C-alpha cells in the first residue's frame, strides 16, 4: 500500500484538533539533546573510543547543526547537562550567540530512576541550574529528562524550582499541563515519542549493536509521522542528538525534511519557548 504523503492529499483530511493561531494547522519543532559523552559516563561506559562518539558533538556536529538552523532561520532549544556546559562552554556560547535557548538536561545526565530521595533529586537539579545560569546568565525554564525517565518526585521538584515546561511525555499530540496531587499545575509538557527520537534509528555502539537505518529510511519515517500529525492538527516534535543527527549525511537528510515540511500550508516551525508562550496565553492552566 502506498501512503499519500503529498501536501494536497494530507491537507484534504479534516483535522481532529485545531488549537493553533489562525492560519496554522500544525506545529513543527526541532530540538537537540547535547549529551556529548555524559550519557556514556553516567552508565559507567568509559572506554575511550566509545566516549569519542559523543565528543564528535562540539567539534563537528554542533557547528553543522547551527549552520543549518541559520540557513533556515530556525530558533530552538538545546537541552544540555550542566557538566557538559561547564566542560564545553564555547559550544554553548555558540548556541547562545545564535539566539537559541539552553534547557536543563540533568547535571551528569541522570535518569529519574537514578535518584534515591527527593532531596537528592532537588540537589542535582539545583546543581544543573547553577551551572547553566553561570554560563548563560539565565535560569533555565525548560527541562527534558535524560532517558525520558521521571521519578515519583520529578514533577513536584520542577514546579518547586520554577520551571515553565518539560518535553517528556508521550500521551498526547498537543501540549498538556502536568497534573500534580490531583490539580492541574502550571508546568506544561511538549509531547515526544521514540519514533521521532533519532537514537531509536541511529544509535549503534559496542554495547548496543542495532541495525543502523539509512537516511532514506529515517526520512521516510519522519515524513510519514509529520504527515499524520499534520492531518490530525497536532504538534510534531523531533528529538535529536548531535552525535547522531549531526553526521553530514543526516544534516543533508534534515535539509530535505525541512523542505518537505515547508511545502505544507499552515505549518508553524516554532521554538519551544515560542510555543510555550503561545499555549500558556491561549490556554492558561485552570
Q: What is the pLDDT of residue 1?
A: 67
Tell me the C-alpha distance between 181 and 279, whole Å.
Answer: 22
What are the DSSP calls for 50-77, one per residue? Answer: HHHHHHHIIIIIHHHHHHHHHHHT---E
The answer to whether 88 touches 259, Cβ cutoff 8 Å, is no
Which residues, 6+ apart, have CB-to-CB distance to 143 below 8 Å?
79, 103, 104, 105, 158, 163, 165, 166, 167, 168
Q: What is the pLDDT of residue 3?
A: 81
Tell me the C-alpha distance between 193 and 229, whole Å.
Answer: 12
Tell me the C-alpha distance between 242 and 250, whole Å.
Answer: 10
Give the cell for residue 72: 533556515
Q: What is the pLDDT of residue 98?
A: 98
Q: Domain spanning 24-282: which superfamily?
A: Glycoside hydrolase/deacetylase (3.20.20.370)
Tell me the C-alpha distance between 160 and 143, whole Å.
Answer: 13
Q: What is the pLDDT of residue 40?
A: 85
3-state secondary structure of 139: coil
Q: What is the pLDDT of residue 42?
A: 81
Ranges of the chain whose pLDDT falls below 70: 1
Give the cell for residue 285: 492552566
Identify the CA nearest to 215 among candidates 188, 247, 187: 247
Q: What is the pLDDT of residue 141?
A: 98
Tell me the C-alpha distance between 26 and 236, whole Å.
Answer: 8
| 200 CB burial (10 A radius; 0-12, 13-18, 19+) | middle
Residue showing cell 547553577: 130
Q: What is the pLDDT of residue 44?
A: 79
Give the cell for residue 110: 541522570
* C-alpha distance from residue 15 to each of 4, 39, 113, 231, 233 (Å): 16, 39, 38, 6, 5
Amino acid at each position: 500500500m502506498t501512503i499519500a504523503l503529498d501536501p494536497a492529499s494530507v491537507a484534504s483530511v479534516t483535522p481532529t484538533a485545531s488549537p493553533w493561531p489562525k492560519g496554522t494547522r500544525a506545529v513543527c519543532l526541532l530540538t537537540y539533546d547535547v549529551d556529548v559523552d555524559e550519557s556514556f559516563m553516567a552508565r559507567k561506559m568509559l572506554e575511550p573510543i566509545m566516549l569519542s562518539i559523543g565528543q564528535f558533538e562540539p567539534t563537528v556536529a554542533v557547528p553543522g547543526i547551527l549552520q543549518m538552523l541559520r540557513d533556515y532561520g530556525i530558533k530552538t532549544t538545546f537541552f544540555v547537562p550542566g557538566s557538559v556546559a561547564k566542560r564545553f562552554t564555547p559550544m554553548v556560547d555558540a548556541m547562545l550567540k545564535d539566539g537559541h535557548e539552553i534547557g536543563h538536561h540533568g547535571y551528569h545526565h541522570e535518569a529519574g530512576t537514578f535518584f534515591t530521595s527527593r532531596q537528592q533529586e532537588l540537589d542535582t537539579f539545583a546543581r544543573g541550574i547553577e551551572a547553566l545560569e553561570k554560563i548563560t546568565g539565565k535560569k533555565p525554564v525548560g527541562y527534558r529528562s535524560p532517558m525520558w525517565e521521571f521519578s515519583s518526585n520529578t514533577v513536584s521538584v520542577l514546579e518547586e524550582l520554577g520551571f515553565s515546561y518539560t518535553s517528556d511525555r508521550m500521551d498526547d499530540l498537543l501540549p498538556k499541563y502536568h497534573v500534580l496531587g490531583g490539580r492541574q499545575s502550571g508546568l506544561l509538557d511538549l509531547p515526544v515519542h521514540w519514533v521521532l527520537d533519532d537514537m531509536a534509528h541511529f544509535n549503534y555502539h559496542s554495547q548496543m549493536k542495532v541495525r543502523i537505518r539509512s537516511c532514506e529510511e529515517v526520512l521516510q519515517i519522519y515524513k510519514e509521522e509529520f504527515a499524520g500529525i499534520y492531518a490530525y492538527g497536532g504538534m510534531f516534535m523531533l528529538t535529536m542528538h548531535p552525535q547522531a543527527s549531526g553526521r553530514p549525511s543526516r544534516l543533508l537528510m534534515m535539509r530535505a525534511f525541512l523542505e518537505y515540511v515547508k511545502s505544507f500550508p499552515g505549518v508553524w516551525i516554532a521554538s519551544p519557548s515560542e510555543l510555550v508562550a503561545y499555549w500558556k496565553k491561549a490556554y492558561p492552566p485552570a
